[in-house]
């Protein structure tokens, strides 16, 4: 992440950005509750420096599966937010609904609609 002349944080460069898709399977019948818990976490991520996107998605064909789309300006921002107090708020509710550990797919964002420009 960089700082502009006015002291504002700017999006990371394409090489620094970190993207992730996280698949979370809830206990049967608890997909909506898991999504609600993750939306609570997402609300806290609005305050996280370097968080460019934290989008909660309910699977269209698996009612108990929730996907989180993450976009961070850099790895350090992700580590600080998810490992710190902001990431811990609501985490207990999320874990209570999980049927299995989350599956993580790491990606390198390249560009497109919705991606802040560096």
Domain ranges of the chain: 11-107
Stated as kind and residue range, the H or E segment containing 107 is strand 103-107
Q: Which of 70, 69, 66, 71 is nearest to 35 (CA)?
A: 66
Give pLDDT tens digits along the chain (118 positions). Answer: 344 444 444 444 567 899 999 999 999 999 999 999 999 999 988 888 999 999 999 999 999 999 999 999 999 998 888 776 655 667 889 999 999 999 999 999 998 888 877 5
Give the pLDDT of residue 47: 84
On whether the 11-107 domain is CATH 3.40.190.10, my answer is no
User: How far apart, in whole angstroms, are the C-alpha atoms of residue 48 and residue 80?
Assistant: 8
If you compute the radius of gyration of the chain from its CA atoms, what whole number of angstroms results? 15
pTM over 0.85: no
Give the pLDDT of residue 100: 97
User: How far apart, in whole angstroms, are the C-alpha atoms of residue 68 and residue 99?
Assistant: 16
């Amino acid at each position: 992440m960089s700082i502009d002349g006015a002291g504002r944080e700017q999006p990371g460069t394409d090489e620094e950005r970190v993207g992730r898709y996280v698949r979370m399977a809830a206990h049967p019948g608890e997909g909506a509750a898991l999504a609600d818990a993750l939306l609570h976490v997402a609300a806290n991520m609005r305050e996280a420096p370097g968080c460019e996107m934290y989008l909660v998605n309910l699977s269209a064909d698996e009612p108990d599966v929730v996907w989180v789309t993450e976009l961070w300006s850099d790895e350090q921002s992700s580590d600080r937010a998810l490992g710190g107090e902001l990431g811990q708020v609501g985490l207990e509710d999320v874990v209570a609904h999980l049927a299995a550990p989350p599956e993580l797919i790491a990606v390198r964002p390249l560009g497109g609609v919705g991606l802040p420009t560096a």
